[in-house]
Copies of this chain bind each other. A is one copy, B any other.
Amino acid sequence: MRVLLAGGAGYIGAHTAVSLLDAGHDVVLLDDLSGTSAIAADRIETITGRTAPLVVGDASDDAVVEEVFTAYGPIDAIIHLAAFKAVGESTQKPLEYYSNNVDTTFALLRVGLAHGIRSFVFSSTGTVYSDPADLPFTEESTTSIDLSNAYSKSKRINEVVLADVARVNPDLNVTVLRYFNPVGAHPSGLIGEDPAGIPNNLMPFVARVAVGKLDRIGVFGDDYDTPDGTGLRDYIHVVDLAEGHVTALEKAEPGYAVYNLGTGRPVSVLELIASFEKAVGRELPKRILARRPGDVAATYCDPAKAARELGWVSRLTIDDSCRDYWNWQSKNPDGYATV
């Protein structure tokens, strides 16, 4: 298959590109580089020994997407990972987040359907589940549009649009992948997460402390109703996640399908930090802080549907994730800007 990978130079995108190329698919990367670097594309080629052309442009612009189809078609499938993804920033710049994250979907669908694509795979999020009583979340758990941030709401809006588009395009496969907490990096240490500013998420924050860019890990709340009092999350190794995209594409049948991509094994904040300390080989400075508004005690999925229907299961552990993330971060202390 020839796949247009929108957002293909980002964290999930670069790993998905590697998995697709390793599986023998052709890949065209489309990325505006607003959240990553063109170096990621070079590294993808270094890892796989294969070429994946990078088109630098805005996936919400029909003309740009059209240009990709013209230059690199015929294209069989689109994997849409092009999104603004900083949860905190989305709360401050909602219009930018809604318009970017929704308009990319509109443009990719319009141009892709005009060119007869067969599959459209969309990166959604486990934060669309809204009722903690449903834990572990299955694909049938309650979702909502009344979520705590514009990022999550923009993802849910896209799901609503995609379900209707699938209904009127019965030959099209539309697969929505609800990610839990992506962590880790490719074992080569050549590609990984490269967040701008102070990271919102735990593992990149811990890694920045480990590499000396930040002083101390903040643990937001140790009085949750969980085994050690800290929040439980479902951390999924980004290589496992990337494989999920390949499987979704290869097993895809016409229609609309939603899959959770997570491990189903909740890990606490303190457990993650301990695992990372093991990878680094020393203790890291940390302190307990107040709970952070919007955080929930626990979120993790039941990944059984993906196992049953796609044959996909996560294979890597939290220790693998911490080891690989640290390998990437220590080799690239300034991310792709490291010289």
Contacts and interface: CB of A to CB of B under 8 A. Distances in A.
A160 interface: yes
A161 B95 contact: yes
A326 interface: no
Nearest to A153: B160
A106 B102 CA distance: 10
Contacts of A103: 99, 103, 106
A70 interface: no
Interface string A4-30: 000000000000000000000000000
Given A145-B145, A145-B156, A156-B145, A161 B106 contact: no
Interface stretch (A36-44, A163-171, A230-238, A271-279): A163-171
Interface string A153-180: 1001100110011011000000000000
Nearest to A163: B94
| Number of copies of this kind of chain in the complex | 2
Contacts of A205: none
Interface string A92-103: 111100110011
B99 A110 contact: yes
Contacts of A144: 145
Contacts of A109: 95
A83 to B, nearest CB: 15
B161 A160 contact: no
Interface residues of A, number: 25
B94 A168 contact: yes
Nearest to A145: B145
A241 to B, nearest CB: 26
A117 B93 CA distance: 18
Contact of A160 (B93, B157, B168): B157
A217 interface: no
A164 B106 contact: no
A167 B94 contact: yes
A153 B156 CA distance: 12
B110 A164 contact: no
A165 B94 contact: yes
A150 interface: yes
Nearest to A165: B95
B150 A92 contact: no
